[in-house]
Amino acid sequence: MSNRLLRGLMAGFTATLVISLILVLRLAAGIIPWYNPIEVMNLAAQDLLGTPDSRLLAWGIHFAVGTLIWGLLFALLVPYLPGRTPTRRGLEFGVASWLVVMLTVFPLAGSGLFGLGLGLVAPLSMLIAHLVFGAVIGAVYGWGRDVVQR
């Protein structure tokens, strides 16, 4: 069990890092600059937790959720997810995590269900990001089998 959890943490951190780099590059390139998921996380944290306006805190929450919550949850659920390969299971997990975010974080941030208050680009780009997240978490988790010894 501890091997699976360690692999989940490693995979969750890596997947969060990958989608974070894509986000930073997208914003730096000026692609859809009005839509910043970290700002959505910042607003949701302010509303839900009463935190101050802090993008640094939002980034910390983003990495904590991706690594600790999603990484550990993936490690616990991976044996029960459909698909034959860890990457396929990761893609399924990515879709499920996208649904959770669309039904919780966006409404808490005041953007409505599925973030439709921000337009159709928000849920579609988040689906792509969560598919990338899922593919990476699954692939790294599978790769970790050879790295993390029992």
pLDDT score of 150 more than 70: no
Determine which helix (DSSP H) or strand (DSSP E) holds 92, and give its type and residue range.
helix 86-108
- Judge whether 8 and 145 are in contact, CB under 8 Å: no
pLDDT score of 101 more than 90: no
Mean pLDDT of 9-14: 97
Mean pLDDT of 91-116: 87
Is 139 or 38 the better-scoring residue by pLDDT? 139
Q: How far apart are alpha carbons 72 and 65 in whole angstroms?
A: 10
**2-6, 29-33, 47-51, 66-70: lowest mean pLDDT where?**
29-33
Q: How far apart are alpha carbons 3 and 109 in whole angstroms?
A: 36
pLDDT score of 146 more than 90: no
- Judge whether 98 and 126 are in contact, CB under 8 Å: yes
